[in-house]
């Protein structure tokens, strides 16, 4: 019976692994096709194309600069939040810093243009002071957007690392009368440094695979990354050879970035949760408190102002008129249907992978290191990091057009690729709950003969319900805000809200784009709030029952 249970979980896990591998293989099929006689010459000719190497150079430069700036601003904010861990609004600040993780990038871009653009509030303040503000379109805008997304993420990762510090270290440093500099150097920094290394590798990888930010703020050929160049080669130039070569280079770059991330011990889903810091009463100096408060205020305003702009500009649009437009209604319905299907698929894949990993871990509990099969199942969930969604979409676009219309396959490709994109986040939320359920009740279920759907309904589901709701909400939010896949497969027949916003921006209908951005932002934020509230209610119910 035990073998049957383990075999069932393993079969579902390996089916999920196979599905993810086959999906990612679409990025490599065009490379194999072009390598056939008659096709290799086109790829070899594209090697001399300056667009390829210019895109590669800009991809690495903007990723390195974005990473450095994000960490430069994150360190003082994290240190200040660590020092002032008892002030009443600390929890709200940390929740605010979690919102950019689920905010659609196209929405953030509109807000950043509203703040730092030619008529933006910040740029006008700078110009009124007699200073010049660079154009938001180009490297400047890309760096600002990336810092907006990644600085809060780095802060949460650093605070998570500091949460592992024993409370005695902090207490002893105060008893010895150590100042802030000495305490930071000898106590805080040793725990902050590995977290910063993990954050740096993760942010670099995210910036290497950035698509929407560069597409909308790139500002021309000199500010084009590899993924945007792939999109341009397929949609504007229809240069298949260049797109295939760019995809190969992008895979090599992301594989290198993922290797750095794995070596640093980071995770793509890092920052979703922050460990609790141990508060205790100490006598603090007023100047130090003032500096910490100002630092937190500046960091909070940097993250909060774009959300204020989204609300302000969105409410100034004709929202009732937007709701009455047939194009908006179709895009909204398409986004909800495709996003829900993608979230369901992501959660199903994550549950299958997590169950397989939990059963494998239970089977070797007293035998030391993980087996190859267990490592393979775990690594398959991160396959989308090595082969980014835009590259997978480009590969399948090239393959499908050999046999039929690629645009007709848009719904299937959007659902499957968006689901794979959400798996690394979903499994990070689901795996601990599934593992805990297996460790607590595996032996009892075997003794009672509970397996299959009966075990899922009576034992597993009550324990993983909260994590599954959170994973579904996060996956749906990611799917609703994705622009990469639909930018390649989208058409007049298949449009999502991000695709519609991009079209309205391209036709200079900024008011409509602002209204659509507010609607999309409200949908994604509401998903996270509802799921978080449901999770808290489940936790309270479980505590009352125990």
- In this predicted structure, the answer to whether residue 111 has a pLDDT above a threshold of 50 is yes
- 335 contacts 452 by C-beta, under 8 angstroms: no
Considering only residues 286 and 356, tell me which one the structure prediction assigns the higher pLDDT.
356
pLDDT number for residue 219: 64
pLDDT number for residue 285: 61
Considering only residues 308 and 12, tell me which one the structure prediction assigns the higher pLDDT.
308
**289: buried, middle or exposed (CB in 10 Å: 19+, 13-18, 0-12)?**
middle
pLDDT digits (tens, 9 = 90+) for 489-520: 988 888 999 999 998 888 878 888 999 999 99
Confidence of residue 281 (pLDDT cuts 50, 70, 90): very low
- In this predicted structure, the answer to whether residue 142 has a pLDDT above a threshold of 90 is yes
Confidence of residue 282 (pLDDT cuts 50, 70, 90): very low
Q: What is the CA radius of gyration of the chain?
A: 24
- In this predicted structure, the answer to whether residue 1 has a pLDDT above a threshold of 50 is no
Average pLDDT over residues 48-70: 88
pLDDT number for residue 280: 45
pLDDT number for residue 362: 65
| Nearest of 83, 122, 542, 483 to residue 283 by alpha carbon | 83
Confidence of residue 441 (pLDDT cuts 50, 70, 90): confident
Structural tokens at position 198: 């993990």
pLDDT number for residue 63: 93
pLDDT number for residue 498: 93
* Residues 219, 142: Cα–Cα separation, whole Å: 10
pLDDT number for residue 36: 52
Do 1-32+319-541 and 39-316 share a fold? yes
User: SS3 of 488, please?
Assistant: helix
Confidence of residue 370 (pLDDT cuts 50, 70, 90): low
The separation between the first and the last C-alpha atoms of the chain, rounded to the nearest angstrom, is 30
pLDDT number for residue 151: 95
* Residues 220, 329: Cα–Cα separation, whole Å: 32
Confidence of residue 369 (pLDDT cuts 50, 70, 90): low
Confidence of residue 4 (pLDDT cuts 50, 70, 90): very low
User: SS3 of 318, please?
Assistant: coil
CATH code for the part of the protein at 39-316: 1.10.3720.10
pLDDT number for residue 5: 43
Which one-letter DSSP state was computed for residue 360? Answer: H
Determine what percent of the chain is predicted with pLDDT higher than 70: 83
* Residues 345, 312: Cα–Cα separation, whole Å: 35
- 197 contacts 161 by C-beta, under 8 angstroms: no
pLDDT digits (tens, 9 = 90+) for 220-246: 777 888 889 888 888 887 777 788 888
Buried b (16+ CB within 10 A) or exposed e, 13-50: bbebbebbeebbebbbebbeebeeeebeeebeebeebe
Considering only residues 244 and 329, tell me which one the structure prediction assigns the higher pLDDT.
329
pLDDT number for residue 53: 84
- 527 contacts 481 by C-beta, under 8 angstroms: no
CATH 1.10.3720.10 fits 1-32+319-541, yes or no: yes
| Nearest of 200, 209, 227 to residue 386 by alpha carbon | 209
pLDDT number for residue 106: 92
SS3 per-residue string spanning 223-286 = HCCHHHHHHHHHHHHCCHHHHHHHHHHHHHHHHHHHHHHHHCCCCCCCCCCCCCCCCCCCCCCH
**432: buried, middle or exposed (CB in 10 Å: 19+, 13-18, 0-12)?**
middle
| Nearest of 200, 317, 187 to residue 265 by alpha carbon | 200
pLDDT number for residue 500: 92
* Averaged pLDDT of the chain: 81
User: SS3 of 98, please?
Assistant: helix
For the chain, what are the domain ranges?
1-32+319-541, 39-316
- In this predicted structure, the answer to whether residue 148 has a pLDDT above a threshold of 50 is yes
| Nearest of 230, 268, 227 to residue 384 by alpha carbon | 268
* Residues 477, 532: Cα–Cα separation, whole Å: 13
- In this predicted structure, the answer to whether residue 531 has a pLDDT above a threshold of 70 is no
* Residues 131, 108: Cα–Cα separation, whole Å: 25
* Residue 239: Cβ within 10 Å count: 18
């Amino acid at each position: 019976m035990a073998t049957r249970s383990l075999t069932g979980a393993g079969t579902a896990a390996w089916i999920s692994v196979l599905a993810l591998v086959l999906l990612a293989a679409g990025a490599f099929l065009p490379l194999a096709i072009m390598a056939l006689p008659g096709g290799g010459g086109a790829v070899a000719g594209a090697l001399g194309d300056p667009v390829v190497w210019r895109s590669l150079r800009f991809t690495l430069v903007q990723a390195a600069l974005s990473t450095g700036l994000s960490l430069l601003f994150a360190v003082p904010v994290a240190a200040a939040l660590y020092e002032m861990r008892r002030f009443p609004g600390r929890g709200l600040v940390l929740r605010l810093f979690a919102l950019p993780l689920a905010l659609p990038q196209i929405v953030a871009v509109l807000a950043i243009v509203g703040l730092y653009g030619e008529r933006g509030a910040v740029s006008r303040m700078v110009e009124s002071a007699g200073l010049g503000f660079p154009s938001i379109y180009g490297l400047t805008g890309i760096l600002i957007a990336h810092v907006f997304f990644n600085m809060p993420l780095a802060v949460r990762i650093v605070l998570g690392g500091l949460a592992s510090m024993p409370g005695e270290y902090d207490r002893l440093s105060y008893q010895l009368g150590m100042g802030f500099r000495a305490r930071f150097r000898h106590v805080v920094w040793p725990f902050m440094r590995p977290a910063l290394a993990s954050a740096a590798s993760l942010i670099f990888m995210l910036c290497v695979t950035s698509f929407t930010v560069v597409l909308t703020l790139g500002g021309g050929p000199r500010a084009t990354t590899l993924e945007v160049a792939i999109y341009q080669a397929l949609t504007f130039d229809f240069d298949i050879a260049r797109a295939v070569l760019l995809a190969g280079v992008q895979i090599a770059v992301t594989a290198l970035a993922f290797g750095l991330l794995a070596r640093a011990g980071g995770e793509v889903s890092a920052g979703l949760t922050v460990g609790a810091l141990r508060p205790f009463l100490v006598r603090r100096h007023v100047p130090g408190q003032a500096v910490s408060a100002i630092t937190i205020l500046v960091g909070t305003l940097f993250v909060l102002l774009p959300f204020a702009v989204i609300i302000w500009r969105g409410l100034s649009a004709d929202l009732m008129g937007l709701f009455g437009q047939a194009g908006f209604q179709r895009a909204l319905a398409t986004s909800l249907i495709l996003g829900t299907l993608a979230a369901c698929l992501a959660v199903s894949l994550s549950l299958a992978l997590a169950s397989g990993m939990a059963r494998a871990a239970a089977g070797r509990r007293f035998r030391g290191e993980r087996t190859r099969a267990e490592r393979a199942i775990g690594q398959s969930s991160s396959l989308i990091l090595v082969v980014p969604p835009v590259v997978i979409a480009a590969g399948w676009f090239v393959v499908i057009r050999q046999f039929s219309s690629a645009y007709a396959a848009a719904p299937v490709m959007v659902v499957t690729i968006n689901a794979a994109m959400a798996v690394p986040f979903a499994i990070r939320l689901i795996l601990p709950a599934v593992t805990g359920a297996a460790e607590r009740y595996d032996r009892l279920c075997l003794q009672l003969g509970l397996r299959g759907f009966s075990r899922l309904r009576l034992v597993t589901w009550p324990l993983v319900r909260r994590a599954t709701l959170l994973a579904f909400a996060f996956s749906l939010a990611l799917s609703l805000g994705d622009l990469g896949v639909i930018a390649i497969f989208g058409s007049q027949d298949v449009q999502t809200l991000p695709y519609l916003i991009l079209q309205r921006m391209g036709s200079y209908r900024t008011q409509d784009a602002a209204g659509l951005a507010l609607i999309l932002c409200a949908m994604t934020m509401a998903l996270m709030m509802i799921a978080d509230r449901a999770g808290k209610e489940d936790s309270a119910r479980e505590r009352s029952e125990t």
